[in-house]
Structure 1
Amino acid sequence: REELQMGADQIKIMASGGVASPTDPIGAYGYSEDEIRAIVAEAKARHTYVLAHAYTAEAIERAVRCGVRTIEHGNLIDLPTARLMAEKGAYVVPTLVTYEALANEGAKYGLPAASVAKVADVRDAGLRSLAIYREAGVKMGYGSDLLGPSQRLQSDEFRIRAELLGPQAVIASATIVGAEVLGMEGRLGRIAPEAFADLLVVEGNPLRDVSCLLGQGEHIPMVMKAGKAEVDRLGG
């Protein structure tokens, strides 16, 4: 209630342990089921929803059963739990680039050795999870969850997912599906009347090769926000 009073748009909970955190095992539960249901009820009362950090199938299953709408990360999913998510209309937001960054750079930025070791448990599983979610029909949003200087790697999420799902699916996750997650269908993620004019001009065809979306915008000469050019290297 306090977070919503202070202007939060959604509520995120920790429904399992974490990778970067050294003291909670990945399989640990963050809240009791009664607590999750109470949080979900409060969010619904304010016409919003709850998202949950969760890795294991068990943590995901209990969160979704208690009314959580989106699962963040979700690496250790199994097919029955993914099918439950699809049945309940829940979304997942994989964050695969995070584990690549933590494995390569985590120690350099001060991540404890125990936390770096946890990365191996979820990194490969995260790649396998994409096929499970696809088979079950779970809609996937787009996220990165990168920390500090690793933010520069954010767009590599396109590369990782496109190798398994293809360019069209990963672009849809960042546009159409993302708009659904936020409850802003028709206003975000589409080029259409009445939508926010948040547009990119891209050098290349990302439906054929997503590399034009990678890096720090080297192949994106124009960015428009709400119809106004924020970046314009086209000279127009």
Structure 2
Amino acid sequence: MTDLLLRCGNLLDVESGDYTEGDLLCADGRIAETGRGLTAPEGARVVDLAGATVLPGLIDAHVHVTAATADLGALPSWSPSYAAAHAAQIMGRMLDRGFTTVRDASGADFGLADAQAEGLVRGPRLMFCGKALSQTGGHGDTRPRGTRVHDGHSCCAGLGRIADGVDAVRAAARDELRKGAHHIKVMAGGGVASPTDRIDSTQYSTGELRAIAEEAAAANRYVAAHAYTGRSVSRALQAGIRSIEHGNLIGADNIAEFLEHEAFLVPTLVTYWALQAEGRDFGLPQQSWRKVDEVLDAGLAALELAHRGGVRIAYGTDLLGGMHRHQNQEFRIRGEVQPPLEIIRSATSTAAELIGMPGRLGTLRAGALADLVVLDGDPLADIGVLADPDNIRTVVQHGVLVRG
């Protein structure tokens, strides 16, 4: 691996919020050194940044790289190879938008993760959970009302698998962990894209949720839960779940629970904006599109409530189909209620902590993996700089120039 020296950049320390003008040396896939006037090792590639901004590589903590359509009920009928081809294209475009690591929140498996790690697929480093666990009639059950038979393992391109009862959910969690899942995803409440549940429903019994959390903890992994309402969020946190996805309808009482359980919130505001505007164009069924308004307006207020309460918040997007191109717009939306540095941390250091890689990702400190984004403009002065991928000049992943 050729060493890489980035010269004369404005390096952002996301922990302090301070810029340092200087050079950054990448060696053996890691950040070897930062400082002024660094000497380029023999044979190193040197890139003059001429004062451009350097950030750690971005992390999106809620994606679905196999969701090439918003009609999630159609995915199980797709050929796995066809879904993988779409996923490869989606992942490559994520990398070009500055996202060097993503956490897949159901759908991706060890095959895609291995293909990316081996260089067969160009894209972000992939933290996967396999299939999300859903109760019958839950958010991961994509069958319409008239369909009775289901494949409980959803072996093909779908996002979820159905398991009911404590013994069954334990077995399902163990099976996903057997296949290498970095985390377990569970549907703990109703959702937009599911055809037969209500947004305000709670899903899975407390005993089932606790069993899933116990299995993840036994494997030194954690559980992420899809949940909108304060009631479903509270049940998930009390069961030992570490990461709440969406949380659009949380209330003030939930904030203390997040802090008590040291849990994370992963809002995904851009997907509701995109689903309302374009969802039907990319396959979202009409009955699902009607649910969007129930969570769209509340999401920004929930984010502000969590931010003011000191909840750890990670960056997520949850986009589907052709709407993946809006991935960076989440920065602009969050800018309505959060300061730029907190938003940047959500996509770097806080997200790295969530996925269990603090100090290795989300920082420009020596010893970290050399994932970097070089920007034209100052995102601390205007977070909109990150919302427009055209401002991304260079992307470095594991010490290799992958864009620019």
Query: TM-score range with shorter-chain normalisation?
Result: over 0.9
CA distance, structure 2, for counterparts of residue 5 and residue 157 of structure 1: 33
Larger radius of gyration: 2
Identity of aligned residues (%): 48
How much has 1:152 moved relative to structure 2? Answer: 0.1
Partner amino acid for 1:128?
A
Residues 54-97 of structure 1 deviation map (CA, whole Å, 9 limit, x = unaligned): 00000000000000000000000001112111111010000000
Aligned 8 A contact 1:50 1:69 in 2: yes
Aligned 8 A contact 2:202 2:231 in 1: no
CA distance, structure 2, for counterparts of residue 144 and residue 182 of structure 1: 16
Partner of 1:76: 249
Aligned 8 A contact 1:141 1:173 in 2: yes
Aligned 8 A contact 1:162 1:169 in 2: no
Instruction: Give matches, 1:100-115, under 5 Å.
Output: 100-115=273-288
CA distance, structure 1, for counterparts of residue 305 and residue 197 of structure 2: 26
Residues 157-190 of structure 1 deviation map (CA, whole Å, 9 limit, x = unaligned): 0000012102111111000100110111111100
CA distance, structure 1, for counterparts of residue 400 and residue 268 of structure 2: 30
CA distance, structure 2, for counterparts of residue 119 and residue 86 of structure 1: 28
Q: TM-score, structure 2 length as denominator?
A: 0.56
How much has 1:108 moved relative to structure 2? Answer: 1.5
Partner of 2:308: 135
The alignment partner of 1:106 has SS state of helix
Partner amino acid for 1:161?
R
CA distance, structure 1, for counterparts of residue 352 and residue 284 of structure 2: 33
The alignment partner of 2:215 has SS state of helix
The alignment partner of 1:71 has SS state of strand
Partner of 1:225: 397
Partner of 1:41: 214
Partner amino acid for 1:230?
V
Partner amino acid for 2:299?
G
Instruction: Give matches, 1:1-236, under 5 Å.
Output: 1-215=174-388, 217-232=389-404
Aligned 8 A contact 2:230 2:251 in 1: yes
How much has 1:194 moved relative to structure 2? Answer: 1.2
| Structure 2 spans left out of the alignment, 5+ residues | 1-173
Aligned 8 A contact 2:331 2:383 in 1: yes
Partner amino acid for 1:135?
R
Specify which structure has the higher proportion of helix: 1
Residues 112-153 of structure 1 deviation map (CA, whole Å, 9 limit, x = unaligned): 222112111101100100121023211100010000100000
How much has 1:111 moved relative to structure 2? Answer: 1.6
Moved over 3 A (4+): none
| Structure 1 spans left out of the alignment, 5+ residues | none
Aligned 8 A contact 1:83 1:137 in 2: no
Moved more, 89-98 or 115-124: 115-124
Q: TM-score, structure 1 length as denominator?
A: 0.95
Partner amino acid for 1:7?
G
CA distance, structure 1, for counterparts of residue 403 and residue 338 of structure 2: 30
CA distance, structure 2, for counterparts of residue 143 and residue 18 of structure 1: 16
CA distance, structure 1, for counterparts of residue 196 and residue 328 of structure 2: 30
Partner amino acid for 2:329?
D
CA distance, structure 2, for counterparts of residue 134 and residue 100 of structure 1: 20
CA distance, structure 2, for counterparts of residue 205 and residue 154 of structure 1: 19
Residues 29-60 of structure 1 deviation map (CA, whole Å, 9 limit, x = unaligned): 22111111111111011101000000000000
CA distance, structure 2, for counterparts of residue 11 and residue 122 of structure 1: 24
Partner amino acid for 2:264?
Y
When the two structures are aligned, how many residues end up with a matched partner? Answer: 231
Specify which structure has the higher proportion of strand: 2
